[in-house]
Amino acid sequence: MRWLSLLLLLACTDSFEVGPMPDGSDAGPFDAALPATDATTTRDSGASRDDAGSLSRCDVTTGPTVGEGCFCRGPVVATDDYVYRQSIGIQVFARDTFDAPVFVVDERPSAQGGLVRVGDHLVSAVDFEDPALRVYSLADPARPVLVGGFGEGTGSPIRLAADGALVVAAHHHDERVSVALYDLTRPTRPERVFERSLDGTALAVAVGPLGVFVIEADVTLDRGRLLWLALDGTERASLAIVDPPFEPSLAIRDELVYFTGGSARLTRVRARADTLRVVDAVGEPIGVGTAIAFVDGLVVLGSLDVYEESSLRPLATTETFGGYASLAVANGALYASSGGGVTEVVLRCE
């Protein structure tokens, strides 16, 4: 099993706390929080079958790791027939054989900012290039073809996420960080919906019908917040995070927002009526965030912990630091990727 780089783990922060900050006249953006939470913290290391006969445990195994290694997160996208992994380029793997890449798109000097799918196109975030975001057609899914780019003058993309035709990117400029939302209804002619500067740096981004979500930290990485923006860029709510997680991930399911890292392996927040409220924080912390995926009623983390989605009961837990930085699901199959390569993950639950 390939884990995140040891160098990254040595840099991670100790913990974070989600909850209200003291009131003060000099309160800044990272001091704004709700007066209370509904958090229920669970530290259970196992799960038992309940009276309704739900799952009691999952066994997790991984296959061979394939692909070129890199000092990167190795974002991965899976489709019916292929797996695409960003690693100083885009590697294309056939799912039926899943060994050496069948094709590689050269994106040097660097391609580490993210990789997402928008319909029958891929969007790749490329460092040190302008435009920073490249669009590839999957008309021939085995050979992605560059058909356009966007995000001119926005600086290096450091985070990327998509939902339907919407793509959100966090950009690092010389002296600031911004978050931008793009509409790729016409992938070869993307339209920028909004761009706004952040008060700190973006650690993770996500987009869905409710809007854009950002885990943002101040310049010292000592404090942060979960920021909720409407799809027009206006701020709806924020929730303070003390000691923000290192390399977290964000995911959205209806009105629930999930993120990893910090003082719990997985935290679940409800976004409703311009309010963010913590409802669950589960699992012993491992000092670093990992990826999140949803598979057949399960929540799977890059640490290969598995939870029942409805209750967040643990069905499989690990004790090792680190994990996979990216997860992708296709037809019930799960693929995990990090700097060391990509592997297929098999879940057997009973």
Q: Which of 138-147, 209-218, 269-278, 319-328 has the lowest mean pLDDT?
A: 319-328
In a domain, 1, yes or no: no
Q: What is the mean pLDDT of residues 316-320?
A: 80
Q: Which residues contact 191 (CB under 8 A, 6 or more apart)?
A: 182, 183, 185
Q: What is the mean pLDDT of the chain?
A: 82
Q: What is the mean pLDDT of residues 56-82?
A: 90
| pLDDT tens column, 178-191 | 999 999 999 999 99
Q: Which of 193-207, 215-229, 265-279 has the lowest mean pLDDT?
A: 215-229
Residue 112 — very low, low, confident or very high, per pLDDT cuts 50/70/90? low
Q: Strand 156-163 relative to strand 121-125: parallel, antiparallel, unpaired? A: unpaired
Model pLDDT, residue 144: 96
Q: Which of 22-36, 74-88, 228-242, 332-346 has the lowest mean pLDDT?
A: 22-36
Considering only residues 318 and 243, tell me which one the structure prediction assigns the higher pLDDT.
318
Check whether 53 has a pLDDT greater than 70: no
Check whether 46 has a pLDDT greater than 60: no
Check whether 13 has a pLDDT greater than 80: no
Check whether 96 has a pLDDT greater than 80: yes
Model pLDDT, residue 18: 40
Model pLDDT, residue 223: 85
In a domain, 336, yes or no: yes
Model pLDDT, residue 16: 34
Model pLDDT, residue 28: 64
Q: What is the mean pLDDT of residues 205-232?
A: 92
Q: Residue 285 is part of which domain span? A: 6-349
In a domain, 99, yes or no: yes
Check whether 288 has a pLDDT greater than 70: yes
Model pLDDT, residue 239: 94
- Own/partner long-range contacts of 132-140 (Cβ < 8 Å, ≥24 apart): 132/156, 132/157, 132/169, 132/171, 133/157, 133/160, 133/167, 133/169, 133/182, 133/190, 134/107, 135/184, 135/187, 135/188, 135/190, 136/90, 136/105, 137/187, 138/79
Query: Of 151, 96, 104, which Cα lies nearest the Cα of 123?
Result: 151
Model pLDDT, residue 30: 63
In a domain, 154, yes or no: yes
Model pLDDT, residue 215: 94
Query: Of 86, 127, 120, 81, which Cα lies nearest the Cα of 106?
Result: 86
Query: Is residue 135 within 8 Å of 186, Cβ to Cβ?
Result: no
The CATH number of whichever domain residue 276 belongs to comes to 2.130.10.10
Q: What is the mean pLDDT of residues 58-72?
A: 87
Residue 113 — very low, low, confident or very high, per pLDDT cuts 50/70/90? confident
Q: What is the mean pLDDT of residues 92-103?
A: 94
In a domain, 19, yes or no: yes
- pTM listed for this prediction: 0.86
Residue 287 — very low, low, confident or very high, per pLDDT cuts 50/70/90? low
- Split into its structural domains, the chain has a count of 1
How big is the chain by its Cα radius of gyration, in Å? 19
In a domain, 116, yes or no: yes
